[in-house]
């Protein structure tokens, strides 16, 4: 008998009929003799609706109340699933974050899990009860409700799997695994049988929506076997796991894109110590994440500095950078909100040469201009014009032979 953690995403619990299907999936594991802990998201669209409500109530809702509100979607789905399971003769009990308790720090909207008390859960499991836990939420040391960031129920699931030393953590959604790229924009995309934690993490960070990046970090740290699956088919799925010899052979495993990017250039900045700090400190002070940064070669003591931010932060970032630009004596700032970031990811990149050249040549052959480049051991990202996103993805998918992957 093994302990299995199953997580179901919002589209799979979007109405009662779907929740009844989820119940069957849970019962199936139960009948195979496994002990089951279930984590649920809110019904599809519900968290967005709650966020819109909060934002219509005040320009800047206070974070404590905001989290308290947007965490309620999960309370609805977990209690409904428990009701359905009980009705079908399978004893089940729902738990909210504070009832466990699942303790987090006090960083509202993006809290980090610090500790999960597994006592109550274990007690129920021992009695044969199916435990259904609300994803995305926790409680801080002062008993304030916190949330873990959008997509956070993936992280709830992996954290519970780690705390309970579960055999595996199954993440169910409407996609049946991790693909070489988004099948919605490239019909040659192939599902991967397995992928390493590091590759999955880079893919999640650079735009793949399948898993919240934090959940992958957590899985790697605690060595949790994560299966990305679909409830529609019993087969398939992608195992996210430790790197092995086969994976190292592959130069590129996946291609991601992120259309949620905007580019800001600060023109003709004096090239002297403290300038980057002066520009970027106020941005981070306002919780604006800066992604790629490039600084041009200096000419007669002046340079241009270009960086990207998330589109949703652009207006605020522009205001802040405008003010700083004046202070530091820059000429002006330029904004481009029509960009996208394309990334190629693969653990084999570290030991193969010519990968970057192949990427740049493939894009150049299609007349796609590269505006910015950044690299890590296992990733190369390029900023391009957004209208070329699909083209760039499929050209690179062909160039690196990903249609043959498995």
Chain positions contacting ligand ASP, by CB under 6 A: 10, 41-42, 47, 73, 135-136, 150-154
* 40 dihedral zone (left: phi>0; alpha: psi -120 to 50; beta): beta
Output the smallest distance, CB 224 to Mg ion, in A. 17
Output the smallest distance, CB 212 to ligand ASP, in A. 7
Nearer to ligand ASP, 43 or 395 (CB): 43
| Residue (of 374, 339, 326) closest to 263 by Cα position | 339
- The binder of 241, among ligand ASP, Mg ion, none, by C-beta within 5 to 8 A per type, is none
Output the smallest distance, CB 89 to Mg ion, in A. 30
Burial (CB count <10 Å: 0-12, 13-18, 19+), residue 297: exposed
232: number of Cβ within 10 Å = 12
- The binder of 346, among ligand ASP, Mg ion, none, by C-beta within 5 to 8 A per type, is none
- The binder of 112, among ligand ASP, Mg ion, none, by C-beta within 5 to 8 A per type, is none
Could you say whether residue 152 binds Mg ion (CB under 5 A)?
A: no
Nearer to Mg ion, 151 or 177 (CB): 151
Rounded Cα distance between 65 and 54, Å, is: 9
- Out of 97, 138, 151, 254, name the contact with Mg ion by CB under 5 A: 151
Q: Where are the beta strands (DSSP E) in 90-177?
A: 92-95, 102-104, 113-116, 130-134, 137-139, 145-147, 168-173
- Close Cβ partners of 243 (under 8 Å, ≥ 6 residues apart): 196, 197, 198, 347
- The binder of 207, among ligand ASP, Mg ion, none, by C-beta within 5 to 8 A per type, is none
- The binder of 303, among ligand ASP, Mg ion, none, by C-beta within 5 to 8 A per type, is none
The answer, yes or no, to whether the previous bond of 357 is cis (omega within 30 of 0) is: no
Output the smallest distance, CB 136 to ligand ASP, in A. 4
Residue nearest to Mg ion (CB): 151
User: Beta partners for 202?
Assistant: none
**Region from 1-9, 182-190, 320-328, 360-368 binding Mg ion, contact rule CB under 5 A:** 1-9
Residues in touch with Mg ion (CB under 5 A): 9, 151
């Amino acid at each position: 008998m093994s302990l299995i953690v199953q997580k179901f995403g919002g589209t799979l619990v979007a109405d009662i009929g779907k929740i009844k299907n989820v119940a069957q999936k849970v019962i199936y594991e139960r009948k195979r003799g496994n002990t089951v802990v279930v984590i649920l998201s809110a019904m599809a669209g519900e968290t967005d609706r709650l966020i819109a409500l909060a934002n219509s109530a005040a320009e800047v809702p206070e974070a404590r109340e905001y989290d308290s509100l947007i965490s309620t979607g999960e309370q609805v789905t977990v209690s409904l699933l428990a009701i359905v399971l009980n009705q079908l003769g399978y004893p089940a009990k729902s738990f909210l974050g504070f009832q466990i308790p699942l303790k987090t720090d006090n960083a509202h909207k993006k809290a980090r899990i610090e500790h999960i008390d597994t006592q109550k859960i274990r007690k129920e499991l021992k009695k044969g009860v199916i435990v259904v836990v609300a994803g995305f939420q926790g409680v801080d040391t002062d008993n304030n409700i916190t949330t873990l960031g959008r997509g956070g129920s993936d992280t709830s699931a992996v954290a519970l799997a780690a705390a309970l030393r579960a055999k595996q953590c199954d993440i169910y959604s409407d996609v049946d695994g991790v693909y070489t790229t988004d099948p919605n924009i490239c019909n040659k995309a192939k599902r991967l049988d397995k992928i390493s934690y590091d590759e999955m993490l880079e893919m999640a960070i650079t735009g793949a929506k399948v898993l919240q990046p934090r959940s992958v970090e957590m899985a790697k740290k605690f060595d949790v076997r994560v299966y990305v699956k679909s409830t529609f088919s019993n087969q398939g799925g992608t195992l996210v796991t430790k790197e092995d010899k086969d994976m190292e052979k592959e130069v590129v495993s996946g291609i991601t894109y992120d259309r949620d990017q905007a580019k800001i250039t600060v023109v003709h900045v004096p090239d002297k110590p403290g300038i980057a700090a002066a520009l970027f400190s106020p941005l981070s002070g306002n919780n604006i994440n800066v992604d790629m940064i490039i600084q041009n070669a200096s000419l007669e003591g002046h340079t241009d500095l270009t960086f990207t931010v998330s589109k949703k932060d652009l207006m605020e970032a522009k205001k802040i950078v405008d003010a700083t630009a004046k202070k530091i004596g820059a000429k002006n700032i330029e904004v481009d909100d029509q960009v996208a970031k394309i990334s190629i990811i693969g653990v084999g990149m570290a030991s193969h040469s010519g990968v970057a050249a192949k990427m740049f040549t493939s894009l150049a052959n299609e007349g796609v201009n590269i505006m910015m480049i950044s690299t890590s051991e296992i990733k190369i990202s390029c900023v391009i014009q957004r209208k070329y996103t699909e083209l760039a993805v499929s050209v690179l998918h062909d160039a690196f032979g990903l249609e043959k992957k498995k």
